[in-house]
Amino acid sequence: MRSDRIKKGLERMPNRALLYATGLHASHMDRPFIGIASAFTDVVPGHTQMRTLERYIERGIENAGGTPFIFGVPAVCDGIAMGHSGMGFSLPSRELIADVVETVVSANAFDGIVLLTNCDKITPGMIMGALRVNAPAVVVTAGPMMAGHHAKRRLNLITDTFEAVGKFKKGDITEEERQSLEVEACPTCGSCQGMYTANTMACLAEAMGLSLPYCATTMAVLTAKQRLAYESGQRVVDLVRKDIKPRDIVTMQALENAVRADMALGGSSNTVLHLMAIAHEAGVPLTLKDFDRLSHSTPHLCSMNPAGKWYMEDLHHAGGIPAVLRLLGKMIHDLPGVSGRTTHQIMSAVRYYDPEVIKTVDAPEHAEGGIAVLHGNLAPEGAIVKQSAVEPAMMVFSGTAKVFNSEENAMTAILGGKIVKGDVVVIRYEGPAGGPGMREMLSPTAAIVGLGLHKHVALITDGRFSGGTRGPCIGHISPEAAAGGLIAYLKDGDAIEINIPAKTIQAVLTDEEIARRQATEPLLPPKETKGYLARYARQVTSASTGAVFK
């Protein structure tokens, strides 16, 4: 076992003395040492219940003959960080989390690891760290939040808080209604209710075979989640004994299963960044071309909030991820996973699914998957749009640019009534290096929806979007402004053409005009010159390659 290096032999007497100082019994020394990477914190709603789940994971590990050790991992709530400078730390926290997992598992020679995670960047960061050390691992996502309720209407974070800002500004809701929504939209612990980034990544971890069946959709407040945590503790000990490692599971075929599940669910556009980063750590050559190929051949089956009406609780009761995979059928590879059953064995065990929530491939929500990859002179390396969240009338759009060098400036213009029908809002210098940190543009996109402009206005950015974003919002434009991409040289009034079915995004400028601007107009200086974000900006690669470190 890996842990033998810290507990076997005469020369490890000092090591054992320190281990006994933690309260270990002599019998623990002959067992596999299992780390529990816990992202518990009081400030992230999706993580506040993790203390209970830690206990159940511990029980499972002990029951199966392992020795558990809990250690902490940082967590950022994107909703709380949204709309201010703190959001710049969200995507960079993914790399920190990967480093923490790698560091603690390696330094303590753990034989296996349980990754207790839930929100946004934490899940991919933990998986990346586990792949680096390649110690047997099970992912436990802490579960989705229940819907809120107000006047017989179900509530969710995006529609009823972020988009409500624009509705209140427009006068569509009263102050009394606004206050009620603020208090009732998020009624329990858990990751926010729709198919946003946190829940999408939980679903994809399960689709890859890194979590137990139904883990992704089992609600945070259910005792079934505690039983899944217990079983996950048991399973990791078995994986250690059988020497089944993450890189045995996260193969190209497993990542293709994840991408197909993503497309069927209409998941967050952030998954493109995260799956490519996971593939990078696994040594698998997943690229934007694969997303484009798989999206084109995978139907969109689930009309999930925010673009659709179904919530995570609906998806769970409709059959969860096993049912989604079953309906995708032969598109899904039969692969091993942490449960001890193959993908097809899990799929074949599904006895019920709700055809209202999960459509069939013969009668899908849309013929193509939820995410499209666009190219053109504005994005020669690619750009991403969540096409399942775009109104049919806005799939092809031409407009004139209104250019902003930060999210804050754009938000001021949107709420100040400066954006009108026919505009293309351009938010630049928000990419991985230029932000730095590639902030999510949920506040401006939600404000546009709340003001009723999402059927008349598009938004493009070298930043990214929340899984809760809807409307014609094109992100991840690569190269970004800070790298000299064409987005850096756009001016107010430039014509921009977006054609999602044709997968194109173009600025209507001649090559001569583009060359003139590039020769005469300097790029903005770096926004950060010290601290973690300055180091991040120097090391991070393009969004088109997953925004991983060089």
Which residues are annotated as catalytic?
Answer: 466
Q: Which two tokens stand for residue 483?
A: 């790298």
Strands (E), 271-370: none
Contact in structure between 403 and 426 (CB atoms under 8 Å)? yes
Contact 523, 488 (CB under 8 A): yes
3 state DSSP class of 421: coil
3-state secondary structure of 383: strand
Is the Cβ–Cβ distance between 219 and 312 less than 8 Å?
A: yes
Q: At which residue do the structure tokens 């899908």 appear?
A: 364
Please tell me the number of Cα atoms within 13 Å of 70 on its side-chain side: 17
Question: Which segments within 122-256 are labelled E, that is strand?
Answer: 137-141, 148-150, 153-155
3-state secondary structure of 542: coil
214 φ, ψ (degrees, to nearest 5)? 75, 0
In sequence order, what DSSP letters do the residues of 53-86 get, joined into one string?
HHHHHHHHHHHTT-EEEEEE-----HHHHTTSGG
Q: What are the residue ranges of helices labelled H in 429-550?
A: 442-450, 511-520, 531-539
Q: Are 295 and 269 in contact (CB under 8 A)?
A: no
